[in-house]
Chain A
Amino acid sequence: MADAAPLSASRLAGLWRVLEEPLRSPDGPLPARLAQAAVSWSGARCGALYLRDKDAWVRAAVAGTFEPNSLDLPDPIPGEPTRREGALWVPLSAEGEIHGHLGLDGIGPEETADLAPFLAIVLGGLLGAHRLSRLVKEADFEVRTRLVELESLYDLGLSLSGQLDIAALGDEVLFRSISLTDAGKGTLILIHEDGRLLLERSLGGQLLSAEQFASWDVPEGEAVINNAAATVPTCGVRLASCEKCLVVPVTVSGRRLGVLAVADKESRNGSVLDFTPADARLLSLFANQAAAAIETARLHRAAIESERIEREMELAAAIQREILPHSIPEIAGVELAAANLPTRHVGGDYYDLFPLSRGRLGFLVADVSGKGVPAALLVSTVHAAVHLQIDEAKTVVELVTRIDRHLRRYAATRKFLTLFFGLFEPDTGLLTYVSAGHNPALLLRRHGPMARLNSTGVPVGMFPDATWRQETVTLAPGDLLCLYTDGLTEAVNVQEEEFGMERLSALVAGGRDMPLKLLCERVLAEVADFAADMPQYDDQTLLLLRRKEVES
């Protein structure tokens, strides 16, 4: 090897002048410009520049015409300027590290000593600075990318907490998952609790279908990576059109809500990269946030529905309160008591009292099928029908028939009701009644056993052209008539046992001499004690009528 010539300032300035223009020029990558400048300055026929790429030296640039492979990096790689097969090889170093190798062909051996030190120092320094600059840029890019990830998680949390549109929410989660993992494609599938599909979104191609997911026994836990194939290792499901995948189940408290899958992590050179544990952590965080947001949206919808039902119940209860008598009328020769306990789930109980001409009393107890506003509206219709028809009908059975026809004509909903209508004449004790499918009324004789007044026909509104039988019975002074709805007899306790007719009969029998108001309160109290803390779902209505004893 030739001895190194001393560096001359003028020689260095000459090299710099040659380099100045290519360094300023924006055209082409820096290695190509450096190789070209080195060939130009040295007078070589051609040259090549090798740079480190991970663990290998690769040819980064060539300058001039050259024979293919004529400037392949020699083996062993020179650590100092050397000549091999006519070419000059110069390691380009700075700060004790070799950043590249320059091969020059077509220059004489005598020039080696003049050229090598200049090229080694100047080009080595430039390459070192270039590499350092690239590393700084890459580190800066990496830090900013991590910041974007953090900001995305924060933004996603904020956006999802206020996002009740599941489709928009799904897009938000899917798009961010794909972009922040650099995936080429992704799919998000969400399902309802009952297994119905809630949402299916894909970008770049569908990785799996809802049907595949439905048959997939998704394990709880972290994201799973498969960088070897497109198969999800935990379940064997094969994803479509991809090489590598990252999949995470979307679950809340053990309930599976869906799956989030991304595939084929991109690189700048177009190859498919492996997903990393950091990608898996990020995707798990997105899946967790998505699950929480979906659950929030579901609970919100449930709350709205609950509120709607609550408002409906309040409206129904208000209708019912307005329809029921506000006070018990005073009728000579009759003692009356009545009560109605609406439940939270408003039913359709209705009772009414009509003081009529010649001291008579009309009364009814009715129980409409169904609950809520539809039932309350039907009660309202019945109330209107009775009040309209009571003065028109000549008999009780005609009144019930008119009510039936009215309902069939005007009621908005196709529902029916059981009804007991009685017309009582206190003077004679004559009770004329029709029981349209209603629970048996209890008639407790002042001196005698308890009788039941059974149904005399089908419920009102049930069948077209229905007819009813009108019955009469005479009440002696002291006789007590008890009308009720099934909310009383079918009240259940914690053992799911019904209060029943027998208990009601016994209570009424025990109240033979009791003021009816007290008896009414006692019956309701006993039923409440029986049911204890069990919620009741049907109204409870009780109407008691006693023919007063004749005062001597």
Chain B
Amino acid sequence: MSEICKVAAERRGDVAILSTDGYINNQGGEEIARQAYTQLESGARALVLNLEKTRIVNSIGISILIEVLEKVMDRKGKLAFCCLTPTIDKTFRIMGLAQYAAIYPTEADAVRAVSP
């Protein structure tokens, strides 16, 4: 896991896949938000956040993810998470993220689910 959270973006049609590597804290969350908004501005209708290489998320990171989620919902888009550790999976469910963004075991499942 990287010390500084890195975010890689990949576009598949209307779906943007953001893959994180590292601690999703204030810096990591901001980087996710920056890339997510860039993707939305360029026409992405759905976001998939792949957290396979992330083992740790703090409350600041979660609040930023909620902001991203609200932004996507305002635009009538979709957001899905995939490849979460059991700890992060549980945290997202408790924090309410899973109410509005589905969680999938694999990236392929998530992309299939949010594709228009």
**Of A178-186, A290-298, A436-444, which stretch is located at the interface?**
A178-186
Q: A148–B95 contact, CB under 8 A?
A: yes
Residues of A within 8 A of B64 (CB): 268
Besides A141-B66, A182-B58, 16 more A-B contacts (Cβ < 8 Å) are A26-B75, A141-B63, A141-B95, A144-B94, A144-B95, A144-B96, A151-B94, A175-B55, A175-B56, A175-B87, A176-B87, A179-B56, A179-B58, A184-B26, A266-B25, A266-B26
A183–B26 Cα distance when bound, in Å, is 10
A183–B55 Cα distance when bound, in Å, is 15
Q: A182–B60 contact, CB under 8 A?
A: yes
A202, closest chain B residue (CB): B3
Give the size category of B's interface with A: 20 to 34
A148–B75 Cα distance when bound, in Å, is 29
Residues of A within 8 A of B3 (CB): 203-205
A133 at the interface (CB under 8 A from B): no
Given A179-B57, A203-B56, are A268 and B95 neighbors across the interface (CB < 8 Å)?
Answer: no
What's the least CB distance linking B78 to chain A, in Å? 15
A147–B25 Cα distance when bound, in Å, is 19
A151–B94 Cα distance when bound, in Å, is 9
Residues of B within 8 A of A268 (CB): 26, 60, 63-64
Q: A178–B60 contact, CB under 8 A?
A: no
Residues of A within 8 A of B55 (CB): 171, 175
What's the least CB distance linking A449 to chain B, in Å? 83
Map CB proximity to A onto B63-80 as digits: 1 under 8 Å, 0 otherwise. 110100001001100000
B38 at the interface (CB under 8 A from A): no
Of B1, B55, B57, B87, the most chain A CB neighbours within 10 A belong to B87
Q: A204–B59 contact, CB under 8 A?
A: no
A254 at the interface (CB under 8 A from B): no
B11 at the interface (CB under 8 A from A): no
Q: Per a CB cutoff under 8 Å, which of B1, B23, B91 touches A148?
A: B91
Q: Per a CB cutoff under 8 Å, which of A151, A180, A266, A267 touches B90?
A: A151
Residues of B within 8 A of A21 (CB): none
A155 at the interface (CB under 8 A from B): yes
Residues of B within 8 A of A178 (CB): 23, 56, 58
A175–B87 Cα distance when bound, in Å, is 10
B55, closest chain A residue (CB): A175
B67, closest chain A residue (CB): A268
Map CB proximity to B onto A166-205 as digits: 1 under 8 Å, 0 otherwise. 0000010001101110111000000000000000000111
What's the least CB distance linking A205 to chain B, in Å? 7
Map CB proximity to B onto A266-305 as digits: 1 under 8 Å, 0 otherwise. 1110100000000000000000000000000000000000
Residues of B within 8 A of A145 (CB): 59, 95
Q: Could you write out 22 A-B pairs with CB less than 8 Å apart?
A: A26-B71, A26-B75, A140-B96, A141-B59, A141-B95, A145-B95, A151-B90, A151-B94, A171-B55, A179-B23, A182-B25, A182-B59, A183-B58, A184-B26, A203-B3, A204-B23, A266-B25, A266-B26, A266-B60, A268-B60, A268-B63, A268-B64
Residues of B within 8 A of A144 (CB): 94-96
Q: B56–A267 contact, CB under 8 A?
A: no
A174, closest chain B residue (CB): B56
Q: A270–B26 contact, CB under 8 A?
A: yes
* Chain A contact residues, CB within 8 Å of chain B: 26, 140-141, 144-145, 147-148, 151-152, 155, 171, 175-176, 178-180, 182-184, 203-205, 266-268, 270
Residues of B within 8 A of A203 (CB): 1, 3, 23, 56
Q: A26–B74 contact, CB under 8 A?
A: yes
What's the least CB distance linking A419 to chain B, in Å? 63
A267–B30 Cα distance when bound, in Å, is 12
A172, closest chain B residue (CB): B87
Within 8 A of A (CB), among B1-30: 1, 3, 23, 25-26
What's the least CB distance linking A24 to chain B, in Å? 10
Given A144-B96, A148-B94, are A155 and B87 neighbors across the interface (CB < 8 Å)?
Answer: yes
A269, closest chain B residue (CB): B26
A267–B87 Cα distance when bound, in Å, is 22
What's the least CB distance linking B44 to chain A, in Å? 15
A148–B62 Cα distance when bound, in Å, is 12
Q: B95–A155 contact, CB under 8 A?
A: no
Residues of A within 8 A of B87 (CB): 152, 155, 175-176
Residues of B within 8 A of A151 (CB): 90, 94
A521–B82 Cα distance when bound, in Å, is 76
A155–B91 Cα distance when bound, in Å, is 11
What's the least CB distance linking A33 to chain B, in Å? 13
Residues of A within 8 A of B59 (CB): 141, 145, 179, 182
Residues of B within 8 A of A140 (CB): 96
Residues of B within 8 A of A266 (CB): 25-26, 58, 60
What's the least CB distance linking A23 to chain B, in Å? 12
A141–B58 Cα distance when bound, in Å, is 12
A142, closest chain B residue (CB): B59
A396–B71 Cα distance when bound, in Å, is 99
A176, closest chain B residue (CB): B87
A205–B94 Cα distance when bound, in Å, is 29
Residues of A within 8 A of B58 (CB): 178-180, 182-183, 266
A492–B3 Cα distance when bound, in Å, is 61
A262–B55 Cα distance when bound, in Å, is 17
B26, closest chain A residue (CB): A266
B24, closest chain A residue (CB): A179
Residues of A within 8 A of B95 (CB): 141, 144-145, 148
Q: B26–A267 contact, CB under 8 A?
A: yes
Q: Per a CB cutoff under 8 Å, which of B26, B56, B75, B90 touches A155?
A: B90
Residues of A within 8 A of B75 (CB): 26
What's the least CB distance linking B2 to chain A, in Å? 10
